[in-house]
Amino acid sequence: MPKYLIERDIPGAGKLSPQELQAISQKSCGILNQLGPQIQWVHSYVTDEKVYCVYIAPNAEMVLEHARNGGFPANRVSEIRSVIDPTTAEG
């Protein structure tokens, strides 16, 4: 199943409190439960002004549906084609 990287513009994201991040996470998980097991949230990275999320889903439309239903921005959705790391250089 494809993996997607979602870029979310959230001004001040890096200043969100642990309680605010928990509430956002709980809302996201609730929407995921409604959508069913085909879509999964892997993890997210929070920076000063953005949140980058990795999801597994059958298509980008389902990722966008999650965003719409949850009221989350999804400014860019990109399918992840490959994952590389330092071990990739070892050939």
Coil, helix or strand for 90? Answer: helix
Mean pLDDT of 45-60: 98
The domain ranges of the chain are 3-83
**Are 14 and 46 within 8 A, CB to CB?**
yes
Work out the pLDDT band at 18, boundaries 50, 70, 90: very high
Mean pLDDT of 3-15: 97
State the distance between the two ends of the chain, measured CA to CA, in whole angstroms.
25
Question: In 10 A of CB 6, how many CB atoms?
Answer: 24
Report field, pTM of the whole predicted structure over 0.95? no
DSSP 91: -
Mean pLDDT of 86-90: 94
Compute CA distances 35 → 12, 13, 14, 43, whole Å. Answer: 28, 25, 28, 18
Work out the pLDDT band at 40, boundaries 50, 70, 90: very high
pLDDT confidence of residue 91? 75
Which class does domain 3-83 fall in?
alpha beta
